[in-house]
A and B are shown apart, each in its own frame.
Chain A
């Protein structure tokens, strides 16, 4: 029997707001334990939630960026369960009436094909704190810094069919949230987390099989392994004549297996009801339009534009839109020098080469877009050669000097005066009379030899097109003679 895998993802996006969703404590990552606390975070008696407006703005932005409909009437609900990192004994979330519905995004697979993945809903909720398990002292330690940090939960339709699609989808979401500045989208730091709903069905069957939810997937590698394990597990059960129990399973990153979370069934009754502490939210068309106006261009759109308008390769367009800061760097450089191909090349090979080798981030790049543009313009204006440019570039990496300053210092000047070049050509002709004759006798291929030699003589600092022209002229003259 052939099986088809069906996967839906629930991605939790931690927002990069300054403060938590329901209190004004900071959301800073990596602080000492229990530093960012207040009565609401601690779930103290008498504490009351007050909604952070910026969370709504970011939710609307993400909804627009994923083609969702923004719901006009929203409210928050309480989701009840007991756990030490959940101080109130309930999480404030949205159950009915989530803020965004029925969206979709495109993903691109390795072979270049595109697939559209549906997004069922996006809703706002608060994050829980963290438990650290101290086996040695037989205790678990609770840190509530993260409790109350705003999350957007993005629920996909069960449109994914394999781990390649899953990875592409996650990368797409990650790129979008970073581009529109709603989240750092950092899986290592937990600002992008994902649970997977996995089921299988015989190929051709319309109905979905019973699904299991897999939790604790915190890297692309583990997501892949977890899904493969789970699909195998389910296949084995069905082939042996059994049925799948709908349950939540935890992924173990050491054994690379999933196991059932016992006891979760009984406590699965979350007893949702509308939170009486939070009045409803009405998002009118004007609000949505305001957010639409300030929405940054989306990465896929920028990518398409780079190919269509600037004729860059699809590969290059992807590299330049992998991160917003790269895209911004390129845009700024190109806007100043108006040479997208050159900007692309200098950034992706020379600059990235340096940054990667020295583990420097683009943000900390010693060369800024304006300066790079200046360098490119010097080339484009025939003031320096490509070789000279590379040398200047190297200097720019270690000094504060501008390209122009370095050019002057080094006395670089593109050799483009035919008179100057002819001196070199004469020298080369004199040293290679046999080859001169060969050309005159009809061996046109040997022309390249002369170009190469002249360029060598000029240490690569002559404009190749003019060298070409001058050599041609010379040969023409010789032929006449």
Chain B
């Protein structure tokens, strides 16, 4: 497929990244090269193959509904860039 700047820009928005024009072009260019290489996979007929979504066939891993002591609030939030009391503070979210 032909990967364009349009593709790159849409993905930047999805991934919450920003880039200037030069950076967009650089990204488009490397992505194009990489996706061209991936065309290789089209050589294979995988129509009857199951995707390997989980390794080693484990299943049914779960735990009992028993509470454990929570992490101390100060400890848990010690890396928060901005706090207000025990809340994490972010710029006001405006729901348009």
Contacts and interface: CB of A to CB of B under 8 A. Distances in A.
A and B in direct contact, judged by CB atoms within 8 A: yes
B77 interface: yes
Contact of A34 (B59, B63, B87, B91): B87
Interface stretch (A112-120, A136-144, A339-347, A361-369): A136-144
Contacts of B92: 133-135, 138-140
A34 B89 CA distance: 12
Contact of A140 (B60, B66, B73, B90): B90
Contacts of B76: 34, 37-38, 42
A131 B89 CA distance: 10
Interface stretch (A275-283, A301-309, A325-333, A424-432): A275-283
B49 interface: no
Interface in A268-287: 269, 271, 274, 276, 278-282
B86 to A, nearest CB: 5
Given A142-B87, A279-B60, A18 B65 contact: yes
A34 B62 contact: no
Q: Name the residue among A56, A82, A131 with the largest chain B CB count within 10 angstroms.
A: A131
B67 A24 contact: yes
Interface in A4-52: 17-19, 24-26, 32-39, 42, 50-52
A141 B87 contact: yes
Given A53-B65, A262-B96, A282-B60, A33 B53 contact: no
Given A141-B88, A142-B88, A142-B90, A37 B66 contact: no
Given A140-B92, A261-B96, A279-B54, A82 B16 contact: yes
A25 B89 contact: no
A169 interface: no
A132 interface: yes
Contacts of B63: 24, 50-53
B91 A138 contact: yes
B1 interface: no
Given A135-B92, A261-B95, A267-B14, A37 B62 contact: no
Contacts of A132: 87
A250 interface: yes
B14 A269 contact: yes
A394 to B, nearest CB: 43
Interface residues of A, number: 53
Given A50-B61, A131-B93, A34 B14 contact: no
A54 interface: yes
Of B58, B77, B88, B96, most buried by chain A (CB within 10 Å of CB) is B88
A281 B95 contact: no
B68 interface: yes
A82 B90 CA distance: 13
B68 A281 contact: no
B62 A50 contact: yes
Nearest to B64: A53
B38 interface: no
Given A250-B95, A282-B59, A276 B73 contact: no
Contacts of B64: 53-54
Interface in B41-94: 53-54, 58-68, 70-71, 73, 76-77, 84-93
A52 B13 contact: no
Contacts of B16: 82
Nearest to A260: B96
Given A35-B73, A263-B96, A18 B68 contact: no
B84 A24 contact: no
A266 interface: yes
Contacts of B71: 37-39, 42
Nearest to A39: B71
B70 to A, nearest CB: 5
A386 interface: no
A190 interface: no
A84 B88 contact: yes
Nearest to A36: B70
Contact of B86 (A25, A34, A84, A262): A34
A13 B58 CA distance: 29
B91 to A, nearest CB: 7
Query: 6 shortest A-B CB distances, which residue pairs?
Result: A141-B87, A54-B65, A279-B58, A51-B62, A142-B88, A53-B62
Interface of A: 17-19, 24-26, 32-39, 42, 50-54, 56, 75, 82, 84, 131-135, 137-144, 250, 259, 261-263, 266-267, 269, 271, 274, 276, 278-282
Given A131-B93, A269-B14, 4 more contacts: A26-B70, A53-B62, A54-B65, A267-B13
5 contacts: A75-B53, A82-B16, A132-B87, A141-B87, A262-B96
